[in-house]
Each structure stands twice: as structure tokens, then as C-alpha cells.
């Protein structure tokens, strides 16, 4: 039986979001209906609302979520009713070249649920943000988008691993492969950069240098484990990072802003044999100009990080376990718990840079 639930809809470009009644169909084969327990408010939701991702309005927003599987369609093997799961953007095929070479984040054949959620009054089909749509009491996803984790974990904390926090931690531990004793610099300390700081700490980095243009962001990065901070409005971050690393530059530099000047800083702030990890997403018109001789002479590597290059089935349960043991404090990323009706206001606070994450708790 299809069900009706409340959900946050972005009706059109730049229009305020509103809570409407949404029809959630029964799950088809390989699909699951999840009773959402918590869902974080992410910049990407705001980009959907602004029309910055695509024009497939109306959107059902929300994608950093955890909840309990309520029902599954025929022949579904991945999860069963009662499982506590974190949702991710898409189910991977497990068989294409990328999947079989252990890089499912580049899978060529991902999928989401094929049945559609609709607006109850008009029957209009909804586009779920990032294939999830979890600012709703229940949502329909492909079963492969669900990863089971320890049911004792707080849903508000668990959901964050579905997006930004995983992207940052994964940039450090997976893409950057930060090792014990490495020096690490993180440029841009919003939610993603702070998660990279936490990841570097987890990996045993000796020095973690946080760079931002705002002192309050630097203070937050310190609470996540940064050992040194640099305000790049008042001092040259490349010089400062070199000074703090014996003149060499950092073994791993993580860029979490997405601008040409910070890409360039990351390039020059690394040790000659170091690694630059690019997590910040630039816009299509941005360009970076570098002397080719520098590109040649400064060895090392330049890597971009997709979703923290994570394997959900490996990384979600591991990070939840570390959190439960008190070895990785993910609760610091939850600035406030809000209700479904408060998402529009949460966007305003996010744009003002006042919160790491507002999390809708059901």
C-alpha cells in the first residue's frame, strides 16, 4: 500500500522550500522503503533549491540520512525490515570495470529506485535529491543505497556519513592515505575540511595545519584536532605551511574550498614528493595556470577525491564503530537538531556560515 508522509519540497528555482504531503509507493524488486530518523542539511540541498544542479523541479530534498528499513521489494537481499542503515547517493553495479577494480565511486552503471515518489495533491513526480530525498518521514531507495551499521549509534550522527563528513574523512584516510607521522595541511575548514582534519587525526598525522580566512572556523578546526592554524587573510599560507613543516611543505595537503587560488596554494604547500587532495568543487569557468616546469619538477601527486573515495560497506560501519568507542567524535559535526518545518531557516544559517550541520531529527 502506498503511504502518505510529510516531506520538504523545493517547488521551483529559488523559491522557498515547503512541507507537503508526499506519496511513497511500495518498494519494487531490489528497493526499500526507509523510515528516516535523521537527515542533515547540506550545501547540495541548497544548490538543488537554487536550480544549480538541474531543472528537474519539484525536488524532494535531503540526502545525509540514516533510518530503519521498513519494507523491501521482492527478491531484495541487501537489507531486511528492521535494519538500521545509512543511505548513500546510488547503488553501484558491482560488475563494471570501475567496480571490479575496486573503485566503485567511479561506477559506470549506478542506479536509484525506479518507482517514483509523487506529490499527493497533484500526483506530480518528485526528483529526490541525490537519489535519496530524505527530508521526509519515509523515502524509497534502491536497496543497494543502504548500508547497515551498529543500531546503537545516534541517527543524527550516522546520517552525516552519507555525504560531507565521509567526503572529508575519506579525503584524508582514503584518497590522501595519510599515514602515522605525516604532516597534513587542510585548506578551508567548513564541514568538509573539518572532517578532513578529524580524518588526519584518526590516521595519526603528526602535524595538522588548518588554513581558513575566518578565525572562528580555525577555532572549530582546532577542536577537531588541528595542531596549528593559519589565517590566510593575514599571512601567506604557503609560507606558513612550509615554516611549520621544517621548510619542506606538508606530506598531504587537502583543498576543501574549490577556488583557483586555494588550488594553487595546495599545489605549492606540499612537500616535493607530497600529495595534493582536491575535495573542493570548482565551477565550470574556473581555470588554474601553473608553470609547467613546476608541474614537472614538483613530483608527488595530485588527486581528486570523490565521496571520500569510500567503500560504504567498509567505511560506514568502521567509522561508526570508532565513534561508538569514543575514538572519533562525530557528534561535534551536529550543531543543532531541528524539525522538518525548519529547513528553510537552516539554509539561512548555513549561508551565514553559522553552523557545521543542522540535522532534521524525526
Residues near ligand APR, by CB under 6 A: 43, 164, 167, 187-193, 211-214, 217, 232, 256-259, 261-262, 279-281
Cα(309)–Cα(106) distance, rounded to whole angstroms?
A: 9
CB 281 within 8 A of CB 262: no
Least separation, in Å, of the C-beta of 350 and ligand APR?
Answer: 8
Q: Which of Zn ion, ligand APR, none does residue 278 bind (CB under 5 to 8 Å by kind)?
A: none
Work out how close the CB of 130 gets to Zn ion at its nearest, in angstroms, rounded to a whole number: 7
Q: Which of residues 128-167 bind Zn ion (CB under 5 A)?
A: 163
| Cβ nearer to Zn ion, comparing 106 with 248 | 106
Report which DSSP code applies to 79: -
Pick the closer one to Zn ion by CB: 164 or 237.
164
The answer to the question of residue 107 lying near Zn ion (CB under 5 A) is: yes
Partner interacting with residue 281 (select from ligand APR, Zn ion, none; CB below 5-8 Å by kind): ligand APR
CA atoms within 13 A on the CB side of 173: 20
CB 106 within 8 A of CB 304: no
CB of 171 to ligand APR, least distance (A): 9
Nearest residue (CB) to ligand APR, 128 versus 308: 308
- 8 A C-beta contact, residue 184 and residue 254: yes
Per partner kind, with CB cut-offs from 5 to 8 A, the member of Zn ion, ligand APR, none near residue 232 is: ligand APR
Site for Zn ion in 165-204 (CB under 5 A): none
Q: Using DSSP bridges, classify how beta strands 207-212 and 228-231 pair: parallel, antiparallel or unpaired.
A: parallel
187 binds, among ligand APR, Zn ion, none (CB under 5 to 8 A by kind): ligand APR
Instruction: Report the C-alpha gap between 169 and 113 in whole angstroms.
Output: 28
What residue 45 binds from ligand APR, Zn ion, none (CB within 5 to 8 A, per partner kind)?
Answer: none
Least distance (Å) between residue 199 CB and Zn ion: 17
Q: Give me the 21-60 binding string for Zn ion, x by CB under 5 A, dash otherwise.
A: ---------------------x-x----------------
Ranges assigned E (strand) in 73-202: 84-87, 118-119, 127-128, 138-142, 146-148, 183-187
**Closest CB to ligand APR among residues 49, 217:** 217
Nearest Cα neighbor of 144 from 82, 75, 61, 98 is: 75
* Distance, CA of 187 to CA of 297 (rounded, Å): 23
Instruction: Give min distance, CB of 167 to ligand APR, in A.
Output: 5
Of residues 264 through 303, those in contact with Zn ion by CB under 5 A are: none
Q: Long-range contacts of range 348-357, CB-CB < 8 Å, 24 or more positions apart?
A: 350/41, 350/43, 350/46, 351/46, 353/190, 353/214, 353/217, 356/190, 356/191, 356/194, 356/220, 356/332, 357/40, 357/41, 357/42, 357/64, 357/160, 357/164, 357/191, 357/333
For Zn ion, the binding residue among 5, 10, 99, 328 (CB under 5 A) is 99
User: Residue 254 forms beta bridges with which residues?
Assistant: 186, 277
**Which positions lie near Zn ion, rule CB under 5 A?**
42, 44, 92-93, 96, 99, 107, 109, 163
Amino acid at each position: 500500500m502506498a503511504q502518505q508522509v510529510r516531506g520538504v519540497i523545493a517547488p521551483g528555482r529559488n523559491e522557498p522550500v515547503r512541507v507537503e504531503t508526499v506519496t511513497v509507493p511500495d518498494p519494487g524488486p531490489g528497493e526499500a522503503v526507509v523510515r528516516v530518523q535523521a537527515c542533515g542539511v547540506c550545501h547540495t540541498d541548497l544548490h538543488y533549491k537554487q536550480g544549480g544542479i538541474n531543472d528537474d523541479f519539484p525536488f524532494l530534498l535531503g540526502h545525509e540520512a540514516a533510518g530503519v528499513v521498513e519494507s523491501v521489494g521482492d527478491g531484495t537481499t541487501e537489507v531486511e525490515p528492521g535494519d538500521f542503515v545509512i543511505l548513500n547517493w546510488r547503488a553501484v553495479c558491482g560488475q563494471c570495470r570501475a567496480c571490479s577494480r575496486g573503485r566503485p565511486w567511479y561506477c559506470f552503471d549506478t542506479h536509484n529506485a525506479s518507482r517514483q515518489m509523487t506529490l499527493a495533491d497533484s500526483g506530480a513526480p518528485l526528483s529526490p535529491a541525490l537519489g535519496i530525498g530524505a527530508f521526509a518521514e519515509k523515502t524509497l531507495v534502491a536497496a543497494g543505497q543502504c548500508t547497515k551499521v551498529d543500531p546503537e549509534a545516534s541517527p543524527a550522527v550516522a546520517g552525516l556519513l552519507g555525504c560531507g563528513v565521509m567526503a572529508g574523512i575519506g579525503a584524508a584516510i582514503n584518497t590522501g592515505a595519510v599515514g602515522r607521522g605525516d604532516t597534513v595541511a587542510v585548506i578551508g575548514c567548513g564541514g568538509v575540511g573539518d572532517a578532513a582534519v578529524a580524518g588526519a587525526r584518526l590516521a595519526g598525522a603528526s602535524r595538522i595545519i588548518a588554513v581558513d580566512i575566518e578565525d572562528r572556523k580555525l577555532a572549530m578546526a582546532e577542536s577537531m584536532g588541528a595542531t596549528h592554524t593559519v589565517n590566510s587573510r593575514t599571512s601567506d599560507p604557503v609560507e606558513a605551511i612550509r615554516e611549520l613543516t621544517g621548510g619542506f611543505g606538508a606530506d598531504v595537503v587537502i583543498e576543501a574550498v574549490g577556488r583557483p587560488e586555494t588550488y594553487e596554494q595546495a599545489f605549492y604547500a606540499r612537500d616535493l614528493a607530497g600529495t595534493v587532495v582536491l575535495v573542493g568543487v570548482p565551477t565550470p569557468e574556473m581555470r588554474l595556470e601553473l608553470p609547467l616546469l613546476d608541474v614537472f619538477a614538483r613530483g608527488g601527486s595530485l588527486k581528486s577525491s570523490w565521496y571520500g573515495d569510500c567503500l560504504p560497506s567498509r567505511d560506514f560501519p568502521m567509522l561508526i564503530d570508532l565513534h561508538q568507542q569514543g575514538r572519533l567524535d562525530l557528534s561535534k559535526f551536529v550543531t543543532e537538531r531541528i524539525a522538518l518545518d525548519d529547513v528553510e531557516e537552516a539554509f539561512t544559517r548555513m549561508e551565514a556560515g553559522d553552523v557545521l550541520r543542522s540535522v532534521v531529527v524525526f
